Copies of this chain bind each other. A is one copy, B any other.
Amino acid sequence: METKRTGRQTVFLPSQPSVLAAACAGGKKEGEGPLRNSFDLLSSDSRFEAASWEKSESAMLSQCYLAACEKASVSPGDVQYVLAGDLLNQCVGSAYAMRGCGAPYLGLYAACSTMAEGLGLAAMLIDGGFCDTAAAATSSHFCASERQYRFPLPYGNQRTPTAQRTVTGAGAMILSMDGPGPYITGVTTGIITDVGIKDMANMGAAMAPAAYDTLTAHFRDTGRTPEYYDAIVTGDLGVLGSELLRELFSRDGIDLGLRHMDCGRLIYYIEGQDVHSGGSGAGCSAAVLCGHFLSGMREGLWNRILFAATGALMSPTTNQQGESIPAICHAVSIENRRVTAWV
């Protein structure tokens, strides 16, 4: 058997599980952004016909998961593991969304990096022989997040230029032992980093070092260079965090160039939609991966993607107690062709 463990943080998946199908959902603002045509579901009032913003988030995620299952021709209860989590306290977005689906459920908390953690674990559970199908799903909702993390919406508070806007969005991806691709070829699991940033309105700065750390680990562990990938997709560093990431790599003499793309920058018109530093939230990278990037891979725009979602692991309470912001990034290799080794 090939060695799965490669270096300190990375595993190679010999069986290369396939993406069977994916779906993504978004709210009003996301439906007005540049990626509007990549969404399977859009709610014009971001409510998804539910009576509270928290219930809207669950409804959105539930509908998104059902849409992915339908595309995959899999019954929602026949998926053998659903891995999901979100930003709401006690991850209620996911628990209530998946309450009725009837599938074995593994709850995650990885903040905005949830899609990468879930996708990586789902692929490992398939590769390890524990299941034939598994799903990764996550969501975030601007209105629910705003009142939980910041201020009630009616306050109409002003945000600083470095602030990112929580995306109303969800993504769900169904993986399978066999399938048409793209394939999950490997996973690099992040280590928590903390460079001392305490400004909750500057998550990009807190998360960029985590992205740098995990991407560097991926290249070190695999022997691959950034040039191997057609797209290195971070989420959600936003405008400022993306600049910081490129700066960190440039110190190593590495120019990520145009192959680096950030979900938080892509999902909105940065200038035209008044979103300051861009989008964030667990649903941001999930929706952009499941829609924009997966479609692009199927069309052959990109054949090799390194999906590196980032998360900030603080809470308003730890912030109020003067703590800095720990961050993490998990990376998943997604390729249109199966590979037999890292390089």
Chain A residues close to B by CB (< 8 Å): 1, 4-5, 8-9, 11, 51-52, 54-55, 80-81, 85, 87-92, 95-96, 98-99, 101-111, 117, 121, 124-125, 127-132, 148, 189-192, 194, 313-318, 321, 323, 326, 328
Contact = CB atoms under 8 A, between A and B. Distances in A.
A132 B104 CA distance: 26
25 contacts: A4-B128, A5-B129, A5-B131, A54-B317, A81-B189, A85-B107, A89-B89, A89-B317, A90-B313, A91-B109, A92-B313, A92-B318, A98-B192, A102-B191, A105-B191, A105-B328, A106-B117, A106-B189, A107-B109, A107-B110, A107-B111, A107-B313, A125-B128, A128-B128, A128-B130
Copies in the complex: 2
A9 B104 contact: yes
Contacts of A99: 192, 194, 326
Contacts of A127: 128
A85 B87 CA distance: 14
Contacts of A328: 105, 107
A314 B87 CA distance: 14
B5 A80 contact: yes
Contacts of A52: 321
